[in-house]
Amino acid sequence: MKKQIRIAVLGLGWMGQAHSRSALRIPSLFPDRDFDPVLTVCADTDASRRERATADFGFARATDDWREAATADDVDAVWVTAPNMLHVPMIEAATAAGKAVFSEKPIGGKPEQTVQAYALAKAAGVATGVGYNYLWSPLVIHARELIASGALGEITHYRGRFLSMYGSDELGLLTWRFMMDEAGYGVSSDILSHSVSMAQYLVGGIAEVVGMRHTTITERPLPSGTASHYGRGNPGDPTGAVENEDFASMLCRFNGGATGTFEVSRTVVGPESQNAFEVYGTKGSLAWNLEQINELKYYRTEEGPNSGYTTIFGGDRFPFHGAFAPGKANSIGFEDLVAIEDFAFMQSLATGGGFSPGFAEAVDVVSVQQALIDSWTSRTWETVRDLKAAAS
Ligand SMILES: NC(=O)c1ccc[n+]([C@@H]2O[C@H](COP(=O)([O-])OP(=O)(O)OC[C@H]3O[C@@H](n4cnc5c(N)ncnc54)[C@H](O)[C@@H]3O)[C@@H](O)[C@H]2O)c1
């Protein structure tokens, strides 16, 4: 008998839709599961999205009151997929009502808000998950296994970057992502969280950092009504000021002694969604890039002086891939990673097993972000302090 997991989704934008589709796809993708997802209630302030929630996704009901959805008696688990500043109040309500919570990153918009969410969930004793979806790429899991096996030797250097064009158009709308009171910090919250979580997953903790930030496009057209992530205004439209950073970079030293560099930007042109890493060890190196999500580059010194990088294609020999496509080099994509994380989270709820990454790992990420933010002001190296200590 499968356990029913009754779901509330708070915000039916890009990620709310992606997680809702996961619930619809999981039964056919993962027949060997211990649960059945049930789309119980969706909350959104936009009436057309509420209409889609019930008509297209099959939610039993939709409401404009997220509190009602987050605390409803017929809900077991809450997905927090609204703009960043709503995360903590939503998590506060859901955890107080004893619900398991899966929150999109960055969990609030500032490090202290992530810490607050962690403290709330810990006090309530509820299960948590966070949407570092790229950690669930089958080839990233394989990379982690290779590194852990010692195949790369001692890790000497890590290079992480997330170069995106989503804010590169000067006519791109001034959506919530660019506002301090709605998003919190800019790319250091939005996409550096993906790069740092990836580095910590692959190589381990970060001990100290120094970095810089910059806002490249300082004014943007004001949106009217609900604006999409990629919405565009017209020349001459009224504009408003961008309040957070477009670019952030960081040098770091890992606890294990390796050096690291990170660069994230939403305003460069060229790289369209270059969420990428390179890991260098004494015996080999690995490179992966979201833009070629189904390819892992592997270099081995044991191949001798005439060797070079080889390409490992994704395939059903790697974890989870076979749920989507059999054989080798039949590709999977962005929403497949979301389905994998949602499957793993709900499976952990059904079986009582642990789940990672949860809110504790999110605090590990913002502990690094806080040291980076401190270095923007001090203009010197900053030690990474574990902010979980501040929560207890
Ligand atoms: N993991 C990833 O790859 C990834 C990708 C994109 C976004 N995200 C994260 O997901 C979250 C949402 O981002 P998005 O791109 O889906 O945003 P979005 O703007 O597309 O969607 C947000 C939705 O929330 C709704 N909303 C706003 N205020 C609300 C309220 N008071 N009550 C109920 N609903 C409300 C909006 O109407 C909209 O439908 C953010 O935290 C973002 O950082 C993660």
The predicted-structure confidence for 181-193, as pLDDT tens digits, reads as follows 999 999 999 999 9
Residue spans in the chain of domains classed CATH 3.30.360.10: 134-334+366-371
The predicted-structure confidence for 361-392, as pLDDT tens digits, reads as follows 999 999 999 999 999 999 999 999 999 997 86
Residue spans in the chain of domains classed CATH 3.40.50.720: 3-133
pTM of the model: 0.97
Query: Which residues, 6+ apart, have CB-to-CB distance to 85 below 8 Å?
Result: 108, 109, 176, 181, 182, 183, 184
**DSSP track, 265-297:** ESS-SS-SEEEEEEEEESSEEEEEEGGGTTEEE
The predicted-structure confidence for 156-174, as pLDDT tens digits, reads as follows 999 999 999 999 999 999 9
**Ligand 1: which atom is nearest the Cα of residue 82?**
24
Q: How far, in Å, is the centroid of ligand 1 from the Cα of 328?
A: 34
Ligand 1 atom 17: residue of nearest CA? 13
- If one residue of 81, 136, 166, 230 were mutated to test the ligand 1 pocket, choosing by the most ligand atoms within 8 A of its CB, it would be 81
Are 75 and 60 within 8 A, CB to CB? no
- Which residue is it, tokens 């690094």? 368
Per-residue pLDDT, 201:
98
CA distance 145 to 373: 32
Scanning the chain, the segments in alpha helix (DSSP H) are 14-29, 47-55, 66-71, 87-96, 111-124, 138-148, 180-183, 187-190, 192-202, 334-351, 359-378, 388-391
CATH superfamily of 134-334+366-371: Dihydrodipicolinate Reductase; domain 2 (3.30.360.10)
Mean pLDDT over residues 278-301, rounded? 98
Q: How far, in Å, is the centroid of ligand 1 from the Cα of 122?
A: 24
The predicted-structure confidence for 43-89, as pLDDT tens digits, reads as follows 999 999 999 999 999 999 999 999 999 999 999 999 999 999 999 99
How is domain 3-133 classified at the architecture level of CATH? Answer: 3-Layer(aba) Sandwich (3.40)
Q: Report the DSSP pairing between strands 100-103 and 206-214.
A: unpaired
Question: Any idea of the CA torsion for 208, 212, 217, 220, to the nearest 10 degrees?
Answer: 40
CA nearest neighbour of 286 among 183, 148, 388? 148
R_g over Cα of the chain: 21
